[in-house]
Amino acid sequence: MAAGKGRVILKSVKEVIVQFCPFESNVRGAREFLAAIGTEKARLTNSNCRIVADVKHDETEPVIAVTFNDGERLEMKAANLTSREMLLFFNERCFAKDPQAQEKASKKSH
C-alpha cells in the first residue's frame, strides 16, 4: 500500500465531519481519527478542507463522513473500527484521488 502510513494528506478532501456522543464507550476511534486529521501538519496539506466535530448528546453512533473535492462521499461507521483502520482506509482513498502522490510513489518504486 502506497498511502503514507501515519501521514494524513487532505489535498483531495473538501470536508470531514466526525460525529459522536462523548458519553458512549465506542467513540475512541472517532476521537483519535479527529485528532489525527486536525493536526497542524495535516491541516497545512489543505487549508480549505473543512473539519467539523459534531458532538451529540443522544447516544449517536460515531460516524466519519468525508466529502472529496470530486464530490465522492465516504462514510465510516466508527463504532467497531480503530482509528488506525479508519486512517489507513482514508489515506488509501486520498492517495487514489491524488495523481501527484501516485506519480511520486511510482518514481520511488522504479
Domain residues of the chain, as ranges? 13-109
**pLDDT tens digits for 7-27?**
888 999 999 999 999 999 999
pLDDT score at 64 = 97
Please, what CATH class does the domain formed by 13-109 belong to? alpha beta
In this structure, what C-alpha cell is assigned to residue 61? 453512533
Res. 4: pLDDT tops 60:
no
Phi, psi for residue 96 in degrees, rounded to 5? -65, -25
- How many Å apart are CA 38 and CA 74, to the nearest integer? 18
pTM (2 d.p.): 0.84
- How many Å apart are CA 41 and CA 11, to the nearest integer? 12
The residue behind cell 492517495 is 95
